Amino acid sequence: MGKYHELAKEIVKNVGGKENILGLVHCITRLRFTLKDENIAKDEVLKAMEGVVTVMKSGGQYQVIIGNHVPEVFEDVMELIDLKEGTAPAAEQKSGRFFDRAIDVVSGIFQPILGIMAACGMLKGLNTLFVALGLYSAECGGYLIINGAGDALFTFLPLFLGYTAAKKFGLKPMLGLAVGGAMCYPGIQAGTLSAGLEPMYSILEGTMFASPVYIDFFGIPVISMDYTGTVIPVILAVWFASKCEKFFNKIIPDLVKFFFVPMLTLLITLPVSVIFLGPVAAFGSTLISELTLGIRSFSPLLAGGIVGFTWQILVIFGMHWGFIPVYINNVMTLGYDNVMMPFFACTFATSAVVLAIFFKTKDKKLREMAIPNFISGIFGVTEPAIYGILLPLKKPFIISCIAGGIGGAFYGQFNFRKFILGGMGIFELPNMMNPDGTMGNMIVALVGIAISMAVGFFLTMLFYKDKEPEEAEKTAAVTETKAAAKAKDEEITLASPLNGKIVKLSEVKDEAFSSGVLGLGAAIEPEEGVLYAPADGRISALFPTGHAIGLTTKTGLELLMHVGMDTVQLDGKGFKVFVEAGEEVKQGQKLLEFDRKLIREAGYSLVTPVLVTNSDEFELVEPTEAEKVQAGDLLLRVM
């Protein structure tokens, strides 16, 4: 039983139990669940849990942000959910928007190798640093052996990605390894590159995609490529292999499946990959590089500023994974990356903002959080600071983005580069030393750190106002109100947020609501497409799609109003929101409008549960006996 067994047990319980979990992986700070039904998960319970920073939903994943000790929590969770693999097979993954699915795929493939990638990068960076310092020469055996350890992953990256991509796409992992190994096969590399030989001919002459051809596959030209160290070609190849394997599993007799299915899968996959998929990926990379270089040629300063300003926003929603292959591809093909590296400024901008908050705040809890998060940020892990401090305070997060953008603009203007993959935070610095041992790029790195931290620190000291005592007073007032109400058996009444017909909660066709697991209350079949505030309070949760709103009332009720069933699938279509998260509202204030006709035509129920999600804190939650209500009429009595 692990150190975090009790926390793991509560997390599993509140994401809906192990039967609701299709898969689980983790990154540096997050548990990334793939759930059958995200609506069952108790967001607010998880967010309030000791040991959980917050909860996010992105990329088709339910993300529980833990902090730096997430690997230990992950191990304890895995013991409870009976999963042999850290992710769900592709066939079981939930459907969703294409961009979300793409991010989910990329993150799932890279997460298992992030630790070893960072380790190998640090070995290579330190090896370069020690040679530059004169501790030993680049010709000695020690340097070669250490470099071999550092190069192990990067030289044979298709093997590692072949394995992790196979697990993601539902292909047998050993087949994924075989595909990756085949793309690194020396004979293919030598045959396609044919060093010292003249090409037979070239194709696509006169375009940016012009390529020499040294060999063909039974008359079909094979474009010369070196696949060792590449990313996208092997991912596409394994994806194609997974489709081939499924096809051959259907048509090959069981008696000979054991060897015929993998044989035919490899026989079809490799030629298709080197003839078509690999070159398409290479051409895509070329196009991205050309477009990026075009932007940089117009204004490197602007390009760097955009990357630096937006990077943390991408991290919050997990969208940064979509750009990691570009960064890796640049280092592996060009020998450096100068396109994505302006994001390096964000790490130190975030750390400096947290440090300034430490000096400025009078809130004891916030000060206790600040120093560990500052240290974590310097070492390259900023999620605890973002989710635990900056986002809840809002303005400091905006300041960190501005400081990151200014630092990123500096890096873009001075062509800041990283030559070796791996490392995080200050541990990345050795990988930024020029290959010839000169210190020009390192000086740019250090000056950029100084700029980012100075801007972040001073803007925070100038513009951040410590509001935590006020919030504490509000929280205390709510707590006192609740205590007084309970002490006196005082009745709290809640108005209806809708015009419509009352539906018993037990009759709602969604077990998460009808079972009361999310809280007690009532449901309404709306006759008008407007949702009003049922009481004075604060918007505590607002789904991006607009279909659900959380409200904490002045009397201590924590409410969830969920318009329709499964309407999250509409992705916001038909909903118009008039409030923001954190906004104070008055009873009767319009919160949102929804298109009843559009929702019905899309095939979704309009039944809207109104739940007291903290109903276990009260003795009684009783719905009205009326059959129909108007907005403002009595809906619930709470004791």
| CA distance to 35, 64, 284, 342, 415, per residue, from 337 (Å) | 36, 31, 17, 10, 10
Burial label, 177 (beta-carbon count in 10 A; 0-12, 13-18, 19+): middle
The H or E element containing residue 19 is none
Least confident of 69-78, 149-158, 418-427, 523-532: 418-427
Q: Is residue 481 part of a domain?
A: no
Report helix angle 141-155 to 114-132, nearest 10.
150
Residue 320 has pLDDT above 70, yes or no: no
Q: Which of the residue ranges 26-40, 195-209, 553-567 would you say has the lowest mean pLDDT? A: 195-209
Q: Is 562 a catalytic residue?
A: yes
What are the C-alpha distances in Å from 352 to residues 65, 283, 420?
A: 22, 40, 26
Q: Which long-range contacts (CB under 8 A, 24 or more apart) does 517-520 make?
A: 517/40, 518/40, 518/42, 518/560, 518/609, 518/611, 518/613, 519/558, 519/560, 519/611, 519/612, 519/613, 519/614, 519/615, 520/611, 520/612, 520/615, 520/621
Structural domain count, the chain: 4
Q: Is the pLDDT of residue 98 over 60?
A: no
Beta bridge partners of 610: 522, 561
Domain co-membership, 163 together with 250: yes
**Encoding tokens for residue 444?**
């740019």
What is the token pair recorded at 154? Answer: 């990067």
| Confidence band for 517, pLDDT divided at 50, 70 and 90 | low
Q: Which of 73, 77, 93, 97 is nearest to 22 (CA)?
A: 93
CATH number of the structural domain spanning residue 34: 3.30.1360.60
CA distance 448 to 431: 15
pLDDT band, residue 289 (cuts 50/70/90)? low
Residues 45 and 180 in one domain: no
Report the C-alpha gap between 412 and 182 in whole angstroms: 38
Residue at a domain's end among 238, 272, 291: 291
193: in domain: yes
Which has more confidence, 475 or 604? Answer: 604
275 with 422, same domain: the answer is: no
Spatial separation of the C-alpha atoms in residues 611 and 513, rounded to whole Å: 8
pLDDT at residue 375, rounded to an integer: 83
Across 196-205, 473-482, 625-634, least confident range: 473-482
Distance (Å, rounded) from C-alpha 594 to C-alpha 25? 36
Share of the chain above pLDDT 90, in %: 24
78 and 164 in a single domain? The answer is no
pLDDT at 169 over 50: yes
Write out the H or E segment, with its range, that includes residue 63: strand 61-65
Q: Are 399 and 279 within one domain? A: no
Q: Within this chain, do residues 173 and 276 fall inside the same structural domain, yes or no?
A: yes
Q: Burial level of 450, CB count in 10 A (0-12/13-18/19+)?
A: middle
Same domain, 285 and 339: no
State how far the Cα of 624 lies from the Cα of 180, in Å rounded to an integer: 64
pLDDT of residue 193: 52
486 — pLDDT class (breaks 50, 70, 90): very low
Q: What is the pTM of this model?
A: 0.51
Is the pLDDT assigned to residue 87 strictly greater than 50?
Answer: no
Encoding tokens for residue 71?
Answer: 């690997």
Residue 141 lies in a domain: no
Residue 436 lies in a domain: yes
Higher pLDDT, 383 or 343: 343
Task: Please identify, among 291, 321, 354, the residue that sits at the C-terminal boundary of a domain.
Answer: 291
User: Mean per-residue pLDDT for 582-596?
Assistant: 90
Residues 432 and 570 in one domain: no
pLDDT at position 113 is: 76
Which segment, 135-139, 263-267, 385-389, 416-420, is predicted with the most confidence on average?
Answer: 263-267
Could you tell me the CATH number of the domain that includes residue 632? 2.70.70.10
The answer to whether 585 touches 537, Cβ cutoff 8 Å, is yes
For the chain, the helix, strand and coil percentages under 3-state DSSP, each to the nearest 5: 55, 15, 30
Which pair of structure tokens corresponds to residue 145?
């052996």
Distances (CA, A) of 187 to 30, 34, 180, 221: 41, 40, 14, 17
**436 three-state secondary structure:** coil
Q: Of the spans 22-31, 387-396, 495-504, which averages the highest pLDDT?
A: 495-504
Q: Do 303 and 285 lie in a common domain?
A: no
Task: Tell me what pLDDT residue 353 has.
Answer: 95
Tokens of 412: 């873009």
Does residue 176 belong to any structural domain of this protein?
yes
Is 133 domain-assigned? no
Instruction: Check: CB of residue 266 under 8 Å from CB of residue 175.
Output: yes
Q: Which domain holds residue 37?
A: 5-95
Q: Rounded to whole angstroms, how far apart are CA atoms 285 and 279?
A: 10
Does residue 525 lie within any of the structural domains? yes
pLDDT of residue 52: 85
Q: Note whether 307 and 359 are same-domain residues.
A: yes
| pLDDT given at position 474 | 46
* Greatest pairwise CA separation for the chain in angstroms: 93
For residues 48-57, average pLDDT: 82
Q: Which two tokens stand for residue 341?
A: 């590296």
List the single range of 116-125, 403-412, 457-466, 570-579 with lowest mean pLDDT: 116-125
Residues 478/556, Cβ–Cβ less than 8 Å: yes
Read off the pLDDT of each residue in 425-447 and give the average, rounded to a whole number.
88
Highest mean pLDDT among 159-173, 307-321, 611-625: 159-173
Give the pLDDT of residue 268: 95
Q: Quick one: pLDDT at residue 107?
A: 64
Task: Tell me: pLDDT of 293 over 60.
Answer: yes
Of 144-158, 460-474, 522-536, 619-633, give the range with the top mean pLDDT.
Answer: 522-536
* Mean pLDDT within 572-585: 87
Per-position b or e across 582-594, b if 16+ CB within 10 A of its CB: eeebebeeebbbb
Based on the fold, state whether residues 494 and 443 are members of the same structural domain.
Answer: no
Q: Catalytic residue among 27, 184, 244, 401, which? A: 27
Could you give the angle at which helices 278-298 and 300-316 cross, rounded to 10 degrees?
120
The interaxial angle of helices 157-169 and 141-155, nearest 10 deg, is 30
Is the pLDDT at 475 greater than 60? The verdict is no
Residue with tokens 């604060």: 538
User: What average pLDDT does the segment 336-356 reach?
Assistant: 89
Interatomic CA distance for residues 145 and 152, integer angstroms: 10
Task: Return the half-sphere exposure (C-beta side, CA atoms, 13 A cut-off) of residue 189.
Answer: 14
What is the predicted pLDDT for the residue at 509?
80
Question: Are the C-beta atoms of 364 and 448 separated by less than 8 Å?
Answer: no
Give the mean model confidence (pLDDT) for residues 414-432: 83
Residues 527 and 625 in one domain: yes
| Residue 118 lies inside a defined structural domain of this protein | no
Q: How far is 358 from 464, CA to CA, in rounded Å?
A: 11
Q: Which token pair is 92?
A: 């079981």
Give the pairing of strands 54-58 and 21-26: unpaired
The answer to whether 27 is a known catalytic residue is yes
pLDDT, mean over the chain: 81
Among 12-16, 358-362, 570-574, the minimum mean pLDDT is found in 570-574
- Using 50, 70 and 90 to split pLDDT, how confident is the model at 115? low
- DSSP assignments along 186-241, one per residue: HHHHHHHH-TTS--SEEESTTSTT-EEEEEEETTEEEE----TT-SHHHHHHHHHH
The last residue of one of the domains, among 266, 291, 316, is 291
